[in-house]
Structures are given as structure tokens and as C-alpha cells.
A and B are shown apart, each in its own frame.
Chain A
Amino acid sequence: MGAYEFDLWVFMLAAFLGFQLIRGVSPLLHTPLMSLTNAISAIAVVGAILITGEKDASTLSRVLGFSAVLLAALNVVSGYLITDRMLKMFKKREPEKK
């Protein structure tokens, strides 16, 4: 089995797993969910690091990579923080206060 065929299998299974998992998420949490998956997909930062950090990267690569690291880092940081900020707000009924 070629590497790409294997990659396609990985993609297919991950997408299927995603479908199954997301189905289980209550509509209550759809906004934080979107914010979380957004932060997760900012893992593209890995690709950006590889491009930027290379020894003999061209100026173009470095500029593009630099911008990509910046954008992805922004997404990672704000994505996780804001998801947590939202989730903190979801509380069950407080016990009766007198």
C-alpha cells in the first residue's frame, strides 16, 4: 500500500470518527465546539514552523512562513482561551440561596 493510499485511509477514518463524535455534542455547546475545533486545526502551525525554520529557506518562504506562524499562533492562543472562557459560563442551577 502506497503512502498516499494510507494517508487517504487515515483521512477517511478520522473524518468518520469526527462525524460520530460531533453528533454526540449537544446543541448547547455548538459555539464552544466550533471554537475548539478551530483551535485544533490551528495545528497547521506545525507546517508553518517547518517552512520558517528551515536552514536555507528563501526570503519568500520565510515571509510566508512567518505570517503563517503568526496567524496560526493567534488562533491557537485565542481559540483555547475563549473556548475555556465560554465553557466556564455554563453552570447548572445554583443551590437555593436564602
Chain B
Amino acid sequence: MKLDDTLLPILYMLAAMSFIMAIKWMNSPSTARRGVIIGEIGMLLAVVGTLLRFEVVNYQWIFIAFFIGSAIGVPIAYIMPMTAVPQRTAFSHACGALASALIGTAEFYKGVQQGPPLTKVEMIALIVETLLGFLTFTASMMAFGKLQEILPQRPITYKGQNFVNLGVFAAAVIIGLALITNPEQTMLFPIFTALALLFGVLLIIPIGGADMPTVIALLNSYAGLSASAMGFVLNNRMLIVAGALDGSSGFILAIIMCKAMNRSFSNVLFGAFGQLQTSTAATSERPYHSASAEEAAQILDSARTVVVIPGYGMAVAQAQHKLKEMFDLLSKRGVNVEFAIHPVAGRMPGHMNVLLAEADVPYDKLREMDDINPEMPMADVALIIGANDVVNPVAETDPKSPIAGMPIIQAYKARTVMVIKRSMNPGFAGIDNDLYYMPNTLMLFGDAKSFVSSIVKELAAVGRAA
């Protein structure tokens, strides 16, 4: 009894403090690993403290579950390739959300069947917890399926979609309210669960790949809020704090992603980006210039400043390691090579940074959009690899374009623009890119990885000849 009254609250408070410090230390790459360690310590304190609580008497199942969970988690963490980070993140949102929804379900039945009955406030929190938990679970699994390419990546829309989605959500909320007023109607709970699960699926159906960064951040936020609501049900303030930190983190990231696309939340969730444009995409033939790897290598070799702008295509082609070779060769010859990274490049916040860091590109060469844009006019070459909409000048020039107002990396200001691309097909959003038709733009047709490796070969040859 003594332990529970005095030591436990202190352990929980220390855990909450270490979580706050963990996030604080994520501010900078030099302290970030310290952040992970203090986060682990906090977790250990909280778990050990909870295991020692007097009402916890049955350890056997807990340890078996811990063992199985770790047995799955450890290999995932070590074997998973870095290109699969977005999928892994979606999957872990699904696990976290489902865990918290299952706990809410157990609490609900316990309250009704065994007592003590839950108070009104606890019921409200429980309904929030399970609603967010279940919908985030299916939504994250859908996102996982799309990122893993088990499901089609393009948005799927149909007439009256928003109406159906809102209807399902409203039905779930109404049944939730009925459960709050009278928890005894236990047969409503499975219906509530089913509606929440269904809504999660419906929510992601119209989301396309380009919107994944925002959606993943939003799901992160929901999973956190669900855990925080659990804190209200269990009267555990450490849970409230940890969940709130996760919830606000996901929310902030989602806002940053939305701003980087000049779109609103509702537009991302209900707008089905790119669906209308595919049919109207310009098919008119416009002249453009193309170049070979040899010519590209010569231009790069004689440049003083090269800005590389990577996008999802780089991740798909796994071109980051070849890029690093190119970076090394050019740096050795005194060419200043920098990487300009758009906030929504890739499929999740920070995706490009992780891939380039994996390829050993020093992180001080990874520049943010706002930071590099003023320097773009001084760049001799802008080399675009697998990016499209984030460099499309239409965003600045055509107010009627679907991406109008979206901040872009101003590649068009560079003296020479080179674009590695498979063909002239318009990109994901189906919007024609004016950049490709500019007189100082050279199209380099081919797979990102093999094209970069031919450039590397040419550069090495030039180096030997000189």
C-alpha cells in the first residue's frame, strides 16, 4: 500500500518529465540521441512502477505479451530498410491506436459488468478514446497498405463520398452519446466499434500518395489523443501528459505539412487532390530539351554551386547512395553541392532527410526550402531527382492551378535546371510542369538511380582524363 501512495506518483511524475526532456532534446541532432535514452528511462520507470502496483497480481500474461511484442518489434527495428520508414510509422500508429482502443473496450465492459460503474466524465473520455483509437487503427492500416503498395496509391473517389463519410461519423458519434447517457445498453458498443472502424477505412480511401505526409501526421495526433483520453479514464496524469505531447506533436506536423502545400485540413481530408486534373491535364506537345549523362556530367563538373532537389521518386528508385557518390566526386573538385528539401517531399515529414542521412550525406548540407530559396539565383545547376509539384513554377504564376500558392523550391531561378525523370508524363497531381519547357531546362530521361550512376561514371572518367 505504501508504495502505491508515495513512490508511484513520484515515478509517474519522473516519467512524464523525462518524456518532456526527450522531446526537448530532439531539437538538435547533437542532443537527440540523449533524448531517446531519457525517453527509455522514463518508460522503464513507469512500467516497473506499474508492475509493482498492488492490484497487479497476475504477471504471467503480461510477460508473455511483452515477450511476443518485443520478439516482433526488435527484428522490425533492425531489419527494416530506411525506405520503409513511412510504412513502419503508419503501422506503429495502427498498433498504438488499437492498443488504446482495446483498453477502452475492456474498461467499458468491466465498468458495466463488474463495477465500479464509470462516471459520466469517464464515459465521455472512454468514448473519445475508443472512437479515435478504432478509427485511427483502420485508417493507419489503410495508409500502411497504400504506402506498401498493397492498395492502389491513387485517390479513389465516388459521388457523395463526403456525405457518406460524414454520415458514418455522425452515426458513430450519436451512438457514442447514447452510450454515455446509458452505458447499460451494451449491445450498442459493438455497433459503435464497427462504425468507428468503418469510418477509418472511408477516411483514407480518397487520400492520394502526395497527401500522405499530412495524413500520417494527423493519425499520429489522433493516436496520441486517444492515449491521453485513456489517462482521463484511468485517472493517470502521466498518460494524459504523454498522450498530449504525442497529440500536439502530430498536430503541429500536420499544420506544417498543410502550410507547405497551401491547403487546409478539410481540403486534404475531403478534397481528393489531383483527381479532377488527371482528365484535363494538358496533352499538347511543347518543345523541350534533353541531354545525355555525359553532357550532364560536364555541366555539373564545370559548376560552382549545385543544388539537388530530391523527391519521392528518389526514394522509389533508391538513388540516395548513388547521389552520395556524385556528391563526393563533385565536392572533391570544389563544387559546392547542397540538397534542398521541401517539407512535403516524400511520404512523411522528414522522409528525404532520413534517406540522405542514411546515405551518409552530412546533415549540414540538407537545407530547408525557406533557407535555400534566396540562394537559388546564385546556383549554377538545380538538379531535380524524383520531385515534381514541389518545383512547379505554376504554383507561383497561375492562380487557377490546383497547387496555386503552394510554396515551392525555386529551381527555375537557377542558371541551368536538370530534371531526371522517366518520361514527360505529368506527375502525381496530373499538373503539367512549366519548368520542363523552359529554355534553360535539360530533361534527363531515365531511372533516377541508373541515371545518377551514369553521371557518376562520366564524372570519374572526366576526373581521370584531367
Q: Give A residues with C-beta under 8 Å from B.
A: 3-4, 7, 10-11, 14-19, 21-58, 60-62, 64-94
In the complex, what's the smallest C-beta–C-beta distance from B126 to chain A, in angstroms?
A: 11
CB <8 Å contact, A46 and B20:
no
- Given known pairs A27-B368, A74-B70, the reply for A42 and B238 (CB within 8 Å) is no
Report whether A11 and B240 are in contact in the complex, using a CB–CB cutoff of 8 Å.
Answer: yes
- Shortest Cβ gap from B233 to chain A (Å): 8
Contacting pair B69 A36 (CB below 8 A): no
B85 pairs with A31, CB closer than 8 A = yes
Report whether A90 and B220 are in contact in the complex, using a CB–CB cutoff of 8 Å: no
Complex Cα distance, B248 from A49, in Å, reads 25
A contact residues around B233 at 8 Å (CB): 47
Question: Which of B57, B237, B245 contacts A18, CB < 8 Å?
Answer: B245
- Complex CA–CA separation, A76 to B177 (angstroms): 33
What B residues does A34 contact at CB under 8 A? 89, 216-217, 220, 249-250, 253, 348-350
Q: Is the CB of B247 within 8 A of A31?
A: no
A18→B68 contact, CB < 8 A: no
Instruction: List residues of B (81-105) whose CB comes within 8 Å of A's CBs.
Output: 82, 85, 88-89, 92-93, 95-96, 98-100, 102-103, 105
Is the beta-carbon distance between A31 and B354 smaller than 8 angstroms? Answer: yes
Q: Hey, which chain A residues are within 8 Å of B57, CB to CB?
A: 53-55
User: Could you say which of B15, B235, B237, B350 contacts A30, with CB atoms under 8 Å apart?
Assistant: B350
Assess A51 versus B107: contact at CB under 8 Å? Given A41-B227, A74-B72.
yes
The CA of A73 and the CA of B107, in the complex, are separated in Å by 19
A sample of 19 cross-chain residue pairs with beta-carbon separation below 8 angstroms, ordered by A number, consists of: A7-B232, A18-B247, A18-B248, A29-B26, A32-B354, A34-B249, A34-B348, A35-B92, A41-B243, A44-B99, A47-B234, A53-B58, A57-B110, A65-B103, A66-B61, A73-B66, A75-B69, A79-B73, A82-B85
Q: Hey, which chain A residues are within 8 Å of B6, CB to CB?
A: none
Q: Is the CB of B99 within 8 A of A48?
A: yes
Residues of B within 8 A of A (CB): 15, 19-20, 22-24, 26-29, 32-33, 35-36, 39-40, 42-43, 46-47, 50-51, 53, 55-59, 61-62, 64-66, 68-70, 72-74, 76-78, 80, 82, 85, 88-89, 92-93, 95-96, 98-100, 102-103, 105-107, 109-110, 113-114, 121, 216-217, 220, 223-224, 227-228, 230-253, 256, 341, 343, 348-351, 353-354, 357-358, 360, 362-366, 368
CB pair B244 A11 closer than 8 Å: yes
Q: Are B26's CB and A7's CB within 8 A?
A: no
Q: How would you classify the secondary structure of chain A's contact residues: helix, strand, loop or mixed?
A: helix
Q: How far is the CB of A92 from chain B (nearest CB, A)?
A: 6
A17 to chain B, nearest CB (A): 7
Contact A39 B364 (CB under 8 A): no
Q: How many A-B residue pairs have CB under 8 A?
A: 367
Q: Is the CB of A32 within 8 A of B95?
A: no
Interface secondary structure of B, over-half rule: helix
Residue of B nearest to A77 (CB): B73
A7-B240, A41-B243, A80-B40 are contacts. A28–B362 as well, Cβ < 8 Å?
Answer: no
B26 touching A38 by the CB < 8 A rule? no
Q: For the complex, what is the distance from the CA of A87 to the CA of B456, rounded to whole Å?
A: 28
The 9 closest A-B pairs by CB, nearest first: A73-B69, A30-B350, A18-B248, A53-B56, A77-B73, A81-B77, A31-B350, A78-B73, A30-B349
Contact of A91 among B231, B253, B357 (CB under 8 A): B357
B96 touching A75 by the CB < 8 A rule? yes
Shortest distance between the CB of B67 and any CB in chain A (Å): 8
Are A74 and B73 in touch, CB under 8 angstroms? Answer: yes
B363 and A19 within 8 A (CB): no
> In the complex, what residues of A have CB within 8 A of residue B368's CB?
26-28
**In the bound complex, how far is the Cα of B32 from the Cα of A37, in angstroms?**
13
Q: Say whether B40 contacts A27, CB under 8 Å.
A: no
Bound together, the chains give a CA A57 to CA B35 distance in angstroms of 37
Q: Which residues of chain B are within 8 angstroms of A62 by Cβ–Cβ distance?
A: 61
Residues on B with C-beta less than 8 A from A30 are 253, 256, 348-350, 353
For B64, the chain A residues whose CB sits under 8 A away are 66
Is the CB–CB distance between B36 and A87 below 8 Å?
Answer: yes
What A residues does B24 contact at CB under 8 A?
21, 24
Look across to chain B and name the residue whose beta carbon is closest to the beta carbon of A64. Answer: B106
CB neighbours (8 Å) of A71 from chain B are: 69, 95-96, 98-99, 102
Other CB < 8 Å A-B pairs besides A11-B241, A24-B27, A70-B69, 5 of them?
Answer: A15-B244, A47-B103, A53-B62, A67-B102, A78-B77
Contacts of B51 in A (CB 8 A): 49, 53
Given known pairs A31-B85, A64-B105, A73-B73, the reply for A42 and B96 (CB within 8 Å) is yes
Q: A15-B248, A17-B245 are in contact. Are A87 and B23 (CB under 8 A)?
A: no
A60 and B109 contact, Cβ closer than 8 Å, known pairs A11-B240, A92-B364? yes
Complex: A68 Cα to B98 Cα, angstroms: 7
Known: A49-B50, A80-B40. A93 touches B109 (CB 8 A): no
Distance between Cα atoms of A74 and B95 in the complex (Å):
8
Decide if A76 touches B32 in the complex (CB within 8 Å). Answer: no
* Chain A neighbourhood of B78, CB < 8 A: 81, 85
> In the bound complex, how far is the Cα of B260 from the Cα of A27, in angstroms?
12
